[in-house]
């Protein structure tokens, strides 16, 4: 299991309190929490997180602050803050909705992927995140090509089931590929993790 995920689940109430302290009233803490998780998990996938707990708290705090700054509409101040510039959780004009939806989609998928069994998760990410071929995945994991395909297929079924359970309508997702707008109703359920 992902260490970041373990810490996330274990300290979720504390993380939520931390995030709430920094958020403007009315902003959904759950969105910010998930956003923070996505960032921390992305970093972990690259094997750079040595101390998952303080790291996750730090990322959560930065994410909340960046969100606050953006919602107040103030220009980004003197310090270079990667979180604020590169990772919007709220978007403004223009193609904003699209970016927002894509970010929601990423959060949902990250939460789905992190729950997969280890080999299944690894194969699925190598395929869908890194774009490796099944042959490359098989070599990397020391398994057969058909086993690699099976892991990825099972990953797809489980991710799908998780997303449906969370209230996402995967049909709505796919349409963005067709250049049609994704429905705003494709939102995750708000229930807490078991």
Partner 1 sequence: MSKGTQKVVEFPDREAIELEAATWIVRQGEEDFGVDGAAALAAWLKASERHRDAYRRLTSTWEAAEVLRELDDIADSVEVPAPDALWSPARRGALLAMAAALLLAVGVVQFGVLPQRPQPDPSRDYVTAVGEQRTIDLADGTVVRLNTDTALSVHLADDARRVRLLQGEAFFEVAHDPDRPFTVSSRAGSVRAVGTAFATRLKDREVLEVTVAEGRVEVTFQSDQPDLAAAPQSAPVEVAAGNTVLYSRDRQEVAPASETEIDRKLSWRDGVVIFAGESLRTVVDDVSRYTDLEISIADERLESLPIGGYFRVGETEALFESLELVFGINVERVGDGRIVLSPGV
* Contact indicator for 43, 36 with CB cutoff of 8 Å: no
Q: How many helices (H) and strands (E) does the chain have?
A: 10, 0
Neighbour count for residue 3 (Cβ, 10 Å)? 17
Q: Decide if 11 contacts 56 (C-beta within 8 A).
A: yes
- The Cα-based distances of 128 to 109, 143, 156, 158 in angstroms read 11, 18, 10, 14
CB of 194 to partner 1, least distance (A): 21
Confirm or reject binding of residue 163 to partner 1 (CB under 8 A).
yes
Residue 56 binds partner 1 (CB under 8 A): no
Q: To the nearest whole angstrom, how small is the minimum distance from the Cβ of residue 153 to partner 1?
A: 4
Q: How far apart are CA 55 and CA 40, in angstroms?
A: 8
Q: Does 173 bind partner 1 (CB under 8 A)?
A: yes
Nearer to partner 1, 25 or 55 (CB): 55
Does residue 9 interact with partner 1 by CB under 8 A? no
Quick note: the x/- pattern for partner 1 over 13-42, rule CB under 8 A, is -------------------------xxxxx
Tokens of 128: 């869908």
Residues engaged in binding partner 1 (CB under 8 A): 38-43, 45-46, 48-51, 54-55, 58-59, 82-83, 86-87, 102, 105-106, 109-110, 113, 124-125, 127-134, 136, 149-150, 152-154, 156-157, 159-161, 163, 170-179
């Amino acid at each position: 299991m992902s260490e970041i995920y373990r810490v996330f689940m274990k300290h979720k109430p504390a993380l939520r309190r931390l995030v709430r302290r920094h958020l403007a009233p009315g902003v959904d803490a759950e969105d910010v929490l998930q956003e923070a998780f996505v960032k921390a998990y992305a970093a972990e996938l690259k094997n750079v997180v040595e101390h998952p707990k303080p790291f996750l708290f730090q990322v959560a705090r930065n994410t909340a602050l960046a969100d606050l700054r953006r919602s107040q509409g103030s220009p980004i101040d003197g310090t270079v803050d990667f979180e604020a510039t590169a990772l919007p959780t709220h978007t403004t004009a223009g193609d904003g909705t699209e970016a927002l939806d894509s970010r929601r989609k990423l959060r949902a998928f990250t939460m789905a992927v992190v729950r997969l069994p280890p080999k299944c998760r690894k194969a699925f990410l190598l395929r869908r995140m890194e774009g490796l071929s099944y042959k490359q995945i098989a070599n990397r994991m020391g398994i057969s090509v058909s086993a690699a395909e099976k892991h990825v297929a099972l990953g797809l079924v489980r991710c799908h089931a998780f997303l449906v359970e969370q209230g996402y309508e995967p049909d709505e997702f796919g349409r963005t590929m067709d250049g049609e707008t994704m429905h705003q109703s494709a939102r995750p359920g708000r229930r807490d993790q078991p």
